[in-house]
Amino acid sequence: MYEAIVIGGGIGGLSAASLLSNAGFKTLLLEKSPVLGGRAKVIDRNGFTLDYGIHLIRFGEYGLLPRLFKKIGKKLDVVRLGESKLFINQNEYMLPVNMEGILKTDYLNKEEKQLTMDLLLSILRENSDNQLDTPISRYLEPMDIPQKIMRLMRIISGLLLVVPEIDKASLGELIGLIKKAVEYGVGAGYPVGGWKTIIKEMESTIIDNGSEIRLKSKAKSIVLGDSGVKGVIVGNSLITGENVIIATDFNEAIRLLIQIKHGNFREIYKKPVPTTGVGIDIGLKGEKLDYKGLLVWENPFIMGIITSNLDPNLVPDGFQYATFLMPITFERYSEAKDASMNSLIEIINRWLERHNVTIEWIRKLYFPIVDGAAPIISQHWKKRVSPITPIRGLYITGDWVGSAGAGSDIAVGASLKIFSDIQEK
């Protein structure tokens, strides 16, 4: 009998399992695929260590993952990003992503800088919870804001929420993130050693504390007893556990939940709308690009980084590796993904040509799910399913449940809540 069984070895499942194992709970982590990491999985290819597309840590060393590492007695070293750049019509500007950036940028003139400052200050005065149902554009409309600043708001929403559509993105979610970025003075960082470090360190915490990880082990269903959760069926066997934490993507979680005869899960666990997109990783010969911050194109919205400039150990000597993401709205993903991929490659190729760099290889990536729940008004965090279910011992984590933030922070935040609940009980 395990004290906890975690279904899924992505960042959400690894977070829950490492917290529980470190606190002495005998835990079993089940992962259906042969590797850990889920949508943050990392591959090694010809001397390159490649994340699954652009992967940053919001708020750098103050982010939730470094905090979780402290809780499991480890330190996650994070490199802060350097100056970010905005590319519009072949021009390169300093991207104003914070107050200092607004003052320094060559993208805005003096009057526009003042307007942008005033706008950010007025946003910061708002209570984030009260604005969760407000689309960003509705808040801006009465202010008669110049197009250039509207474009900047689109970029900020794209960067922080991965939703550049400001008519859908939740202002409250955005305010929550901007407030944290201002409080910590850091927008984003990158883990030393890449996301491989995060996965490896959480894995070793689980194993070193006497808990277990089973790869290629798919949970078929969850079994309930008289007073709550009883265990998980894998193959033809029942593995018993006092607590079961579903840490899969939402499609699989809903499949598992629908089988449970308790209340109306169909009603409660409605499928969220994810963010989707296409991406490319590029291996570059030579070390000609010295950018250390975010690289952003406004229309179509693209964000990228030269990953190896943040950690040179991720590439063989004499090479660089860059990664770029173009978000697509969920409704358009199927019909638009191929054209978006072509457009992404064309824009980045043109930009690289101007820098006279040699492309060694390109890896094309299609993302039917980037973040499990897009932080849009119809499904802001308060409208999403709670990580603590009405069934005793049954929990749900992942980047689509009811926890504030975006991307992996939702999953890590949910796993922290689940850990506290299990510890208290």
Ligand X SMILES: Cc1cc2nc3c(=O)[nH]c(=O)nc-3n(C[C@H](O)[C@H](O)[C@H](O)COP(=O)(O)OP(=O)(O)OC[C@H]3O[C@@H](n4cnc5c(N)ncnc54)[C@H](O)[C@@H]3O)c2cc1C
Binding site for ligand X (CB under 6 A): 7-13, 30-33, 38-40, 52-56, 218-219, 247-249, 252, 279, 325, 367, 370-372, 398-399, 407-409, 411
Residue 256 CA: distances (Å) to CA of 219, 220, 263: 9, 8, 14
Closest CA to 213 of 80, 21, 414, 71: 21
Q: Closer to ligand X at the Cβ: 8 or 393?
A: 8
**CB of 36: closest distance to ligand X in angstroms?**
7
**CB of 26: closest distance to ligand X in angstroms?**
19
**CB of 73: closest distance to ligand X in angstroms?**
22
**CB of 145: closest distance to ligand X in angstroms?**
28
Is residue 3 within 8 A of residue 243, CB to CB? The reply is yes
**CB of 310: closest distance to ligand X in angstroms?**
12
Kind plus residue range of the DSSP H or E element containing 47: none
Q: Closer to ligand X at the Cβ: 128 or 248?
A: 248
Q: Which residue has the tokens 């955005």?
A: 174
CA dist 234 and 244 (Å) reads 13
Q: Closer to ligand X at the Cβ: 53 or 176?
A: 53
Q: Closer to ligand X at the Cβ: 8 or 402?
A: 8
Q: HEC string of 61-106?
A: HHCHHHHHHHHCCCCCCEEECCCCEEEECCEEEECCCCHHHHHHCC
Q: Closer to ligand X at the Cβ: 119 or 273?
A: 273
Q: Closer to ligand X at the Cβ: 60 or 135?
A: 60
**CB of 201: closest distance to ligand X in angstroms?**
15
Q: Closer to ligand X at the Cβ: 63 or 135?
A: 63
**CB of 273: closest distance to ligand X in angstroms?**
15
Cβ neighbours for 339, distance < 8 A, ≥ 6 positions apart: none
The token duo for 223 is: 């079994």
CA dist 145 and 120 (Å) reads 12
End-to-end CA distance of the chain: 17
In DSSP notation, 118-130 reads: HHHHHHHHS-GGG
CA dist 397 and 382 (Å) reads 15
